[in-house]
Chain A
């Protein structure tokens, strides 16, 4: 019988005074090991590679003309920060793997090697450090996400009193109806004019009430960075303040049957004057 099955729980605090050196000293000692330095070096290289890919990803993200709203810019910022924070751990993981193939030696052959390897059952320092690092990372994600979500929600639903915002302008309401396989936009405050192309004035907050006549669709204004399901029998809300002139894409992002792929239209962000004349042209009543 072996008596060594259950290693005693890792001693986190020494019960009696020892000459255990402080953490910083131990970290320095650890860093003196050649493999530790090399792994950190490889991690660094990998992190740089991740950041390069990230830069490319952000470029691709905005390659179709965005960001056309504050929300979309915010999304890109979030992606950058989340990646920067997450990449050291990812880098360390990959670096350890890469190093293990070349640094600590490897064996081939068909016979099971009976070589000697360190008998490491656990290591309290490593475990605690890892849990701390991942928890800090997750904590950062949570805090960042919650704060940011609260921010864009306030912007999108108008929960921040609009008149306290700088440069107050009255919002525009748009009723969005999805049906197989077209979008219809109705301006309830502008004489209920209807259009199959969304036209929005620049720098005006716009609130969308979204519903569907048949199946679930998803209203996705790509470069504006907003998306919400159009559900039959329910009204969902979202909102955005476009801040870039131009023509952008609206797509359906929820499989809605036969011609789902073709259920797309455009959103034109125009100046206030152009918007007003468009409304008159469409036979709309009062303008705001």
Chain B
């Protein structure tokens, strides 16, 4: 790093030190995270709102089969491990070891890819149909959004591997790896929120919703 400070690497397109560009990109990533978080929050709002209303008694899946919890948590666990690996690689490249990043990012991207496949498998093997109830719809979309996150995340980490090997990310220009790691950290948080919601909110608290197209409350006399 001391050599880098003395003779900063300059961006070929604008002529600025890459550290300046990196600071700019970091803000950009933060803003992307804010925006994506707003989207994830609206999915969670949808989940919680439908759970709390139980319109027409239609929250619970018709066949009574809730999605198994362990799969959500397994995916979260895998993502957290992948994220920790990537951060370890980022630390090592900032400490001057490019090889560390290559190894860590390769493992991390493989793990994320595995989680992506697991997520697709979960989507394919839910014990219910998306159109069965509002719970099934909301859960399906939480999983789908996570699948989208994972596909994007694993591609980004793969790109880090590729760029590090090509020397575009290196000891004197390590910033992009940290940006990707920040993004992956947010993806873990999003997956965690989804897992918490699907685990904690199953049976609706509203046991007495009005019936559709009538003025009757089905469960009271």
Contact = CB atoms under 8 A, between A and B. Distances in A.
A232 to B, nearest CB: 6
A234 interface: yes
Contacts of A233: 55-56, 210, 212
A233 B212 CA distance: 4
B212 A209 contact: no
Interface in B184-221: 210, 212-215
A64 interface: no
Contacts of B55: 233-234
A211 B215 contact: yes
Contacts of A235: 210, 215
A271 B183 CA distance: 70
A213 B212 CA distance: 7
Interface string B47-71: 0000001011000000000000000
Contacts of B215: 175, 186, 188, 209, 211, 235
A209 B216 CA distance: 11
B213 A232 contact: yes
Categorize the interface residue count of chain A.
Answer: 10 to 19
Contacts of B212: 232-233
Looking at A175, A209, A211, the one whose CB has the most chain B CB atoms below 10 A away is A211
Interface string A139-183: 000000000000000000000000000000000000100000000
Interface string A184-212: 00101000000000000000000001010
Given A233-B55, A233-B56, A234-B55, A213 B210 contact: no
A76 B146 CA distance: 52
Contacts of B214: 211
A101 B128 CA distance: 71
Nearest to A209: B215
Nearest to A211: B215
A186 B214 CA distance: 11
Contacts of A213: 213
A270 B9 CA distance: 87
Contacts of B56: 233
Interface string A209-225: 10101000000000000
Looking at A186, A211, A233, A235, the one whose CB has the most chain B CB atoms below 10 A away is A233
A209 B212 CA distance: 13
Interface in A226-261: 232-235
Nearest to A231: B55
A188 B214 CA distance: 12
Contacts of B210: 211, 233-235
Interface string B68-108: 00000000000000000000000000000000000000000
A282 to B, nearest CB: 19
Nearest to B213: A213
Nearest to A188: B215
B194 to A, nearest CB: 26
A196 to B, nearest CB: 17
Contacts of A175: 215
Given A211-B213, A213-B213, 11 more contacts: A188-B215, A211-B210, A211-B214, A211-B215, A232-B212, A233-B55, A233-B56, A233-B212, A234-B53, A234-B55, A235-B215
13 contacts: A175-B215, A186-B215, A211-B213, A211-B214, A232-B213, A233-B56, A233-B210, A233-B212, A234-B53, A234-B55, A234-B210, A235-B210, A235-B215
The 3 closest A-B pairs by CB, nearest first: A233-B55, A233-B212, A235-B210
